[in-house]
């Protein structure tokens, strides 16, 4: 056995090997150690290898999916080695000691999952293949749970941005590729030949040319070849559902690099979860397929005005009819995920339940079609997708006649073909049922004949049917003329057989076996019918998802008072009463109100320099405008009173501190890398938000960098930009940059406390309120007091000598200064305590104020 295991393990490579032994998948050696640690199960041993105990652990076959999910989440890949013959077949082949033959039937990896229990319903599971062909990267991406496949090409410098948009669970690339993405799985280089990729796609789709699917470049085809080869390897020759590939034009979607996506927290928050993301704040879809489509829309907003307005018109149509929207969402909510059910069926992992889901889902799709078709004037996008919801009448009728109302998840035990569909099957079931009744009658007969009331006829998987009596009655049945044959003695019971029982059991087994074979044959026929219509069913699933997205967007708009954006092709951005959807939702939960602000950019006023205190709302204002642009170009309503959006080709966000220690980059280095990317790539049609550029270095360096960046954005990139800063000196740029205007977030000090108003106003900030913010944050009073003394001396030195640090040389140390300030406070407290204010004349009061001011060092 161990020889067989080691041979399969060599074939499995770096995958954990699930080795089937009866009702368990067993793991050995280092695989067992790894799995036991991740799954938190017992690590045992079995036998020895080279004189050492063999580590071992196992999981039950019937619950293996749950363990697989945890292993995949833990970063493992798993090879499934199944028994490919029965013990009886092994005995016939090689005698009683013959080892049951086993083979790897499938590789389970993060990007090749189709099982319902292993997938997140509301998240796509993308597998990507990437390669390089003469300096151009090819990218092939596919979610095999639904079959959707896209091909694109990009410059090497844009590959990380493409992968960030895809959010791939697994990436494969050619071996020994120097530019391989982190964590990518290396595959044989010959898999990524473009001619091989073209041949594989033709074979998969049974076509002589790919021209009908689109125009694909050599890098695209090379990546597609690597993807299909990997899927063929993972499925051991059985390919999953693959729909015709679609060529993606990089210019058709709003470009965002990885840093921007992370900064804006589009699909995931900074903590890595869905909660707190833009997607979570927007998603009101009632189906998993709709939620996945919405995530794709937000990850890749459109840049074409016509397509954006098609989506917006559909959302507006549902927004205008709340009753229709409510009824439709009620129907959608009950729909099964037919896209993923289809994926499992085509991949050979389908069940009777999946066929039942297709039956029910396609039937409800027809109902939705009829409801929407009966409406009056409809949006163009709805008219385009409505035909996809109909046309499955013959298939749904077949599945309805063939399947029981609630088919089981397993087909081994039968029982899923409806009565009346196959008369021969009904007869076999009747024979089996009659035989069971005959066994019950036989049991009653044997009780009467033997006088043993405790006699029972039982069944198990090893012995089949047998007669069982308590041990005290066994002797009466042991005689040669009793008609019973002894089979097994148990503790407290003895088991027998009889000729009549053997005959009835044979009839049951024969009828049952024929019935199971008949049901299996019908299952394969039904699967064939489904596979033959896979493209049409996939189109239906996509249409239902698009309708769910539009209805969900309309629901979110009605819920939050969002507005329909106007999409224009000039370089304007006019947002009235804009709000941050995520922050507003969080404040609403706390019972607080979000303060809305306007943003009006135009070719004549395209760069806003925004000052004001930390925590005053600058970063929120920057992000909310970027998110409003993103939401509008994704085809949805936006959180504002009014919005006029000039199309944006690229969106950049440099907001918030981050580092990349794994690559040896400090926070400031990351900031400069991201800023460099913006300056190199932003066009006049781009929208850029920048926050506190230059803060990670010395004051002079930082100010100089911020100054130069503002000038470059204004003069060279000439894009729409919101630039937040604490450097008051940058306000001087308004004198020379004609398209730059000054703004600030308002704040006030009231009775020594800072009040943040979160309102945007025109003009420069009067000061930064840094010490007030420090006090608000809980910095110790003595530290704030010390900082004030240093600030006073800095400002005096700069006013007198022009040097920023002038006058600090004779400043007392922190401890001495703190003690001195405490003494001064005590003295002042004593003087004020003994003062009779009512007895002071106006002149005496004025003289006292001058005296106190001199003692404080300000006279």
Q: Quick one: tokens of 208? A: 């002589």
CB–CB of 637/564 below 8 Å? Answer: yes
- Who contacts 502 (Cβ-Cβ below 8 Å, separation ≥6)? none
757: three-class secondary structure by DSSP? strand
**In whole angstroms, what is the distance from residue 79 CA to residue 19 CA?**
9
Q: Quick one: tokens of 114? A: 């189709």
Give which of 534, 540, 529 is closest to 365, Cα–Cα: 540
- Who contacts 665 (Cβ-Cβ below 8 Å, separation ≥6)? 659, 673
**In whole angstroms, what is the distance from residue 744 CA to residue 747 CA?**
9
**In whole angstroms, what is the distance from residue 137 CA to residue 246 CA?**
17
Residue with tokens 């009549």: 500
Q: Say if residue 252 is exposed, middle or buried (CB neighbours under 10 Å; 0-12, 13-18, 19+).
A: exposed
Is 460 annotated to bind a ligand? Reply is no
Is 613 annotated to bind a ligand? Reply is yes
Is 612 annotated to bind a ligand? Reply is yes
Is 391 annotated to bind a ligand? Reply is no
Element (H, E) at 749: strand 740-750
**In whole angstroms, what is the distance from residue 229 CA to residue 693 CA?**
46
**In whole angstroms, what is the distance from residue 20 CA to residue 210 CA?**
41
User: Regarding beta strands 148-154 and 246-247, do their DSSP bridges make them parallel or antiparallel, or are they unpaired?
Assistant: parallel
Report in angstroms the alpha-carbon separations of 101 from 7, 87, 98, 741: 12, 9, 9, 77
Is 387 annotated to bind a ligand? Reply is no
Q: Quick one: tokens of 221? A: 């085809």
CA angle 645, 646, 650 (to 5 degrees): 105
Element (H, E) at 507: helix 499-532
Number of helices and strands (H, E) in the chain?
27, 27
Per DSSP, 139 falls in state E
Is 597 annotated to bind a ligand? Reply is no
Going across the sheet that includes 148-154, the strands are 185-187, 170-174, 127-133, 136-143, 148-154, 246-247
**In whole angstroms, what is the distance from residue 49 CA to residue 858 CA?**
87
174: three-class secondary structure by DSSP? strand
Is 250 annotated to bind a ligand? Reply is no
Give which of 150, 63, 119 is closest to 337, Cα–Cα: 119
CB–CB of 395/529 below 8 Å? Answer: yes
CB–CB of 797/805 below 8 Å? Answer: yes
Is 618 annotated to bind a ligand? Reply is yes
**In whole angstroms, what is the distance from residue 757 CA to residue 760 CA?**
9
Annotated binding-site positions: 612-619
Annotated binding-site positions for ATP: 612-619
């Amino acid at each position: 056995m161990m020889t067989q295991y080691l041979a399969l393990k060599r074939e499995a490579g770096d995958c954990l090997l699930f080795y089937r032994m009866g009702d368990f998948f067993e793991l050995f050696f280092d695989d067992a150690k790894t799995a036991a640690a991740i799954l938190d199960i017992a690590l045992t041993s079995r036998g020895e290898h080279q004189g050492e105990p063999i580590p071992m652990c196992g999981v039950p076959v019937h619950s293996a999916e749950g363990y697989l999910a945890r292993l995949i989440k833990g970063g493992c890949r798993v090879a499934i080695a199944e028994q490919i013959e029965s013990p009886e077949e092994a005995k016939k082949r090689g005698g009683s000691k013959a080892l049951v033959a086993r083979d790897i039937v499938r590789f389970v990896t993060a990007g090749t999952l189709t099982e319902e229990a292993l997938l997140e319903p509301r998240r796509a599971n993308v597998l990507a293949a990437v390669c390089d062909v003469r300096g151009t990267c090819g990218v092939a991406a596919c979610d095999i749970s639904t079959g959707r496949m896209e091909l694109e090409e990009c410059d090497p410098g844009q590959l990380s941005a493409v992968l960030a948009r895809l959010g791939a669970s697994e990436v494969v690339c050619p071996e020994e590729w120097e530019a391989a993405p982190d964590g990518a799985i290396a595959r044989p280089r010959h898999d990524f030949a473009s001619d091989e990729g073209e041949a594989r796609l033709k074979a998969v789709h049974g076509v002589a040319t790919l021209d009908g699917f689109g125009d694909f470049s050599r890098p695209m085809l090379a990546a597609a070849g690597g993807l299909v080869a990997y899927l063929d390897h993972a499925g051991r020759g059985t390919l999953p559902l693959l729909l015709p590939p679609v060529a993606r034009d990089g210019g058709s979607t709003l470009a965002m690099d990885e840093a921007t996506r992370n900064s804006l927290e589009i699909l995931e928050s900074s903590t890595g979860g869905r909660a707190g993301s833009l997607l979570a704040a927007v998603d009101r879809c009632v189906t998993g397929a709709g939620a996945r489509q919405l995530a794709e829309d937000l990850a890749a907003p459109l840049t074409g005005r016509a397509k954006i307005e098609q989506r917006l018109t559909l959302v507006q149509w549902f927004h205008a009819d709340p009753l229709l929207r409510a009824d439709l969402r009620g129907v959608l909510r009950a729909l099964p995920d037919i896209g993923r059910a289809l994926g499992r069926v085509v991949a050979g992992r389908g069940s009777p339940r999946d066929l039942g889901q297709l039956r029910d889902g396609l039937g409800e799709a027809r109902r939705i079609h009829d409801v929407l078709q009966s409406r009056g004037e409809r949006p163009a996008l709805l008219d385009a997708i409505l035909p996809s919801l109909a046309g499955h009448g013959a298939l749904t009728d077949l599945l309805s006649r063939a399947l029981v109302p609630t088919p089981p998840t397993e087909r081994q035990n039968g029982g899923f073909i409806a009565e009346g569909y196959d008369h021969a099957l009904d007869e076999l079931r009747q024979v089996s049922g009659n035989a069971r009744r005959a066994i019950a009658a036989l049991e009653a007969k044997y009780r009467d004949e033997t006088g043993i009331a405790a006699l029972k006829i039982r069944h198990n998987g090893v012995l089949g049917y047998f007669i069982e009596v308590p041990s005290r009655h066994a002797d009466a049945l042991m005689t040669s003329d009793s008609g019973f044959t002894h089979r097994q003695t148990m503790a407290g019971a003895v088991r027998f057989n009889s000729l009549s029982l053997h005959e009835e059991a044979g009839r049951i087994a024969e009828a049952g076996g024929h019935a199971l074979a008949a049901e299996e044959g019908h299952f394969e026929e039904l699967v064939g019918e489904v596979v033959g219509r896979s493209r049409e069913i996939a189109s239906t699933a996509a249409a239902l998802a698009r309708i769910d997205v539009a209805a969900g967007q309309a629901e979110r708009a009605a819920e939050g008072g969002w507005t329909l954006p106007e999409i224009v092709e000039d370089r304007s951005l006019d947002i009235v009463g804009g709000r941050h959807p995520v922050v507003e939702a969080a404040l609403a939960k706390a019972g607080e109100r979000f303060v809305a602000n306007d943003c009006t950019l135009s070719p004549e006023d395209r760069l806003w320099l925004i000052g004001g205190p930390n925590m005053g709302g600058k970063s929120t204002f920057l992000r909310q405008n970027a998110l409003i642009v993103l939401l509008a170009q994704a085809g949805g309503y936006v959180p504002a009173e009014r919005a006029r959006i000039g199309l944006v080709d690229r969106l950049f966000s440099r907001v918030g501190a981050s580092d990349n220690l794994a690559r040896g980059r400090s926070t400031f280095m990351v900031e400069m890398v991201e800023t460099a990317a913006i300056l190199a790539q932003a066009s006049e049609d781009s929208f850029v938000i920048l926050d506190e550029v230059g803060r990670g270095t010395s004051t002079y360096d930082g100010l100089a960098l911020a100054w130069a960046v503002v000038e470059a954005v204004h003069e060279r990139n000439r894009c729409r930009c919101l630039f937040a800063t604490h450097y008051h000196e940058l306000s001087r740029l308004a004198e020379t940059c004609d398209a730059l205007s000054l703004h600030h977030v308002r704040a006030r000090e009231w009775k020594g406390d800072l009040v943040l108003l979160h309102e945007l106003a025109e003009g420069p900030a009067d000061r930064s309120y840094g010490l007030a913010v420090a006090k608000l944050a809980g910095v110790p009073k003595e530290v704030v007091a010390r900082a004030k003394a240093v600030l006073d001396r800095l400002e005096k030195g700069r006013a007198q000598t022009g040097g920023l640090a002038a006058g600090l040389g004779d400043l007392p140390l922190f401890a001495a200064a703190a003690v001195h300030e405490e003494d001064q406070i005590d003295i002042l407290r004593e003087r004020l305590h003994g003062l009779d204010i009512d007895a002071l004349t106006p002149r005496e009061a004025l003289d006292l104020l001058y005296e106190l001011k001199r003692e404080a060092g300000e006279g």
